[in-house]
């Protein structure tokens, strides 16, 4: 789904910008430091409702300003808006003017792909970076994955807190949730690897001589049917 227009208020050095985005595409030209990347950051913000550069909301807001606002309208007319208030540190997300009580409810309405120099960390960095990337992608594509992931993380945090209190019975109470949600997370990851592996090999073959490559998922545990 293509973006038809973008409104940006007080995002970094962008005070006030309104753009109509033509179907044929748009090129951003200008000297370094004049806001081209900041505009792309704003365009991608409604994907996960956070900065693709890893910045905190306070850092995204124009220095000294009351906060920031990003509004995007898809070509089908659906409007997505996010506003961050510096005074209260609160973020408000709306879809077609209706408030989303949880940001997770707004995920998936706008999808975009960004290519950044930091993407090299996927192959050069550790496993944690690759897990974060896979978590973001699967959360956008499959709401059930995001739900299982959030349940798993919450259960891990609560179980660890019980262990720090030396409360074995309370810690054991989370075993069932951990097993069920962890299995759901692992199944989604394995299914993605099985599906994406073929497309990945085809893409590499199109770049030149075919190579004997394979996409694998190596986790700390195995899924038992």
Confidence (pTM)? 0.71
**What pLDDT is stored for residue 223 in this prediction?**
56
What b/e readout covers 148-174, taking b as 16+ CB neighbours within 10 angstroms? bbebbeebeebbeebeeeeeeeebeeb
Residues in contact with 72: Cβ distance below 8 Å, sequence separation at least 6, in sequence order:
3, 5, 6, 7, 43, 46, 79, 80, 81, 110
pLDDT above 60 for 225 = no
pLDDT above 70 for 222 = no
**What pLDDT is stored for residue 205 in this prediction?**
84
Q: Please state, in angstroms and rounded to a whole number, the distance separating the CA atoms of residues 225 and 221.
A: 13
CB half-sphere exposure, 29, CA atoms < 13 A: 2
What residue spans in the chain does CATH classification 3.40.50.300 cover?
3-106
pLDDT above 80 for 210 = no
Distances (CA, A) of 150 to 9, 89, 141, 143, 197: 31, 23, 15, 11, 26
Q: Please state, in angstroms and rounded to a whole number, the distance separating the CA atoms of residues 112 and 98.
A: 22
**What's the DSSP call for residue 24?**
T
Of residues 5, 97, 111, the one with CA closest to residue 49:
111
- Report residue 15's pLDDT band, with 50, 70 and 90 as the boundaries: very high
- Report residue 181's pLDDT band, with 50, 70 and 90 as the boundaries: very high
**What pLDDT is stored for residue 207 in this prediction?**
83
Q: What is the mean pLDDT of residues 132-158?
A: 93
- State what percent of residues in the chain have pLDDT above 90: 65
Q: Chain-wide mean pLDDT for the chain?
A: 91
**What pLDDT is stored for residue 121 in this prediction?**
85
pLDDT above 70 for 199 = yes
Reported as a single tens digit per residue, the pLDDT across 52-100 is 998 999 999 999 899 999 999 999 999 999 999 999 999 999 999 999 9
Q: What is the mean pLDDT of residues 175-194?
A: 94
Superfamily of domain 3-106: P-loop containing nucleotide triphosphate hydrolases (3.40.50.300)
Reported as a single tens digit per residue, the pLDDT across 35-50 is 999 999 999 999 989 9
Q: Please state, in angstroms and rounded to a whole number, the distance separating the CA atoms of residues 174 and 160.
A: 10
Residue 20 pairs in a beta bridge with 5
Q: Which two tokens stand for residue 218?
A: 């190596």
């Amino acid at each position: 789904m293509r973006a038809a227009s973008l409104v940006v208020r007080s995002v970094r050095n962008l005070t006030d910008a309104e753009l109509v985005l033509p179907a044929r595409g748009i090129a951003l030209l200008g000297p370094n430091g004049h806001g081209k990347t900041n505009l792309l950051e704003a365009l991608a913000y409604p994907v996960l409702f956070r900065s693709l550069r890893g910045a905190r909301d306070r850092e995204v807001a124009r220095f000294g300003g009351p906060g920031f606002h990003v509004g995007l309208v898809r070509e089908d007319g659906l409007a997505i808006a996010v506003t961050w208030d510096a005074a209260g540190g609160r973020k408000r997300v709306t879809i077609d003017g209706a408030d989303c009580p949880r940001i997770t409810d707004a995920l998936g309405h706008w999808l975009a792909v960004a290519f950044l120099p930091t993407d090299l960390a996927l192959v050069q960095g550790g496993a944690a970076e690759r897990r974060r990337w896979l978590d973001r992608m699967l959360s956008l594509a499959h709401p059930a994955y995001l739900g299982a992931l959030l349940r798993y993380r919450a259960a891990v945090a609560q179980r660890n807190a019980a262990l720090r209190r030396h409360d074995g019975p309370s810690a054991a109470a989370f075993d069932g949730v951990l097993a069920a949600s962890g299995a759901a997370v692992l199944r989604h990851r394995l299914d993605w690897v099985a599906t994406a592996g073929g497309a990945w090999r085809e893409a590499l073959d199109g770049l030149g001589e075919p190579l004997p490559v394979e996409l694998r998922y190596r986790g700390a545990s195995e899924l038992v049917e």
